[in-house]
Amino acid sequence: MPHKITLTGSATGPLREYDRYVAFDMREKGSPSAPKGLKKSTFISYTVFVAKKAFNKTGLTKKSIMHEKILIQGEPTLDIPIDECPGEVGVICFQITVLPNKNDKEKNQSDAKKEPKQEASALSQDQKNTEPTKQEEEQAPVSQPVAKEEKKEVKPIQPEVQQQPTEKKKADAQKKKLTNQPKGTQDLLDFDEIIVPEAFLKTRPNPEKTQKVIDFVKRTGRLDEPLTIEKGTNLLKDGYRRYIVAKTVKLDKVPVVYEYQK
């Protein structure tokens, strides 16, 4: 089995461009505590090599790569000339992902809080616009009953009446979509978007238990339990056996429950 390595962080040096790939340096520190009797690990510098096509898909630039937090999955290599690989270990990148930063999360949360206030102000404005119509109805002369009846028939359409059916349909469709999934499912995620950590790739689930889950999926058309995924990074936290089953039976989407970063 080939060696696997996972790195997280930002580039510590400028981006270097070659014919078919780009390279940059990263640095990671080991665990702050080591087993008793062993020395603590120190910083290790890495030089990451990424195909240009994969790098361009991330939207990163020479400037932004120094500030964005990224996740690298690949294989270590020691066969690259030192002039191209100043780091202690070279890493051939198979997958590169830009991780969301705290500022983006706080901005999204503040925008989400502002939306209900804007909707409330819009509704109050609509109510003010309907008040003159009611006053005109009360002030209309008694000698014109026909005109008064016509005004009563013309009722302004509130935004709530238009929005409620659409929102209700979306909620019913989402509820129906998740009803056919295992208990606890929060969302359906594309199988190809799931990132499997190196620790899972080194294990092999029990074949007999795995076959039971495969038989269950063939019988019901769904997994028996959702996979636990880290919100934002799509890292698999639990359910590697069900991941293997979904890959075996070629499921396009899998049920997931999210675990938020601490």
- The pLDDT-based confidence of 147 (bands split at 50, 70, 90) is very low
The mean pLDDT of 154-163, rounded to a whole number, is: 55
pLDDT recorded at residue 36: 80
Residue 204 domain flag: yes
> Does the CA dihedral 49-55-61-66 come out positive or negative?
negative
- The pLDDT-based confidence of 143 (bands split at 50, 70, 90) is very low
Q: What is the pTM of this model?
A: 0.41
Residue 46 domain flag: yes
> What is the residue-wise DSSP string for 203-254?
----HHHHHHHHHHHHHHSS-SSPEEEETTT-BEEE-HHHHHHHHHTT-SEE
Task: Please write the tens of the pLDDT for every residue from 2-61.
Answer: 788 999 888 988 999 999 999 999 988 777 777 887 887 788 889 999 999 999 999 999
CATH number at residue 205: 3.90.1530.10
Residue 55 domain flag: yes
Looking at 81, 100, 119, the residue that finishes a domain is: 100
Percent of the chain with pLDDT over 90: 29
Strand, coil or helix: what is 96?
Answer: strand
Distances from the Cα of 53 to the Cα of 14, 59, 204, angstroms: 19, 11, 32
- The pLDDT-based confidence of 158 (bands split at 50, 70, 90) is low
The pLDDT mean for the chain works out to: 79
Residue 132 domain flag: no
Looking at 100, 116, 143, the residue that finishes a domain is: 100
Residue 83 domain flag: yes
Residue 197 domain flag: yes
Query: Which residue has better confidence, 36 or 252?
Result: 252
pLDDT recorded at residue 105: 58
Q: State CA 219 to chain mean position distance.
A: 30
pLDDT at 97 over 50: yes
Q: How many domains are there within the chain?
A: 2
Residue 20: give the domain boundaries: 5-31+42-100
pLDDT at 198 over 80: yes
Looking at 100, 126, 144, the residue that finishes a domain is: 100
Residue 167 domain flag: no
| Residue whose C-alpha is closest to residue 242's, from 254, 258, 232 | 254
Question: Are the C-beta atoms of residues 48 and 35 closer than 8 Å to each other?
Answer: no
Residue 58 domain flag: yes
- The pLDDT-based confidence of 195 (bands split at 50, 70, 90) is very high
pLDDT at 108 over 60: yes
pLDDT at 165 over 90: no
CATH number at residue 25: 2.40.50.1040
Query: Which residue has better confidence, 101 or 23?
Result: 23
pLDDT at 188 over 80: yes
Stretch (H or E) spanning 49: strand 44-51
Query: Which residue has better confidence, 21 or 105?
Result: 21
Task: Please write the tens of the pLDDT for every residue from 206-248.
Answer: 989 999 999 998 998 888 899 999 988 999 999 999 999 999 9
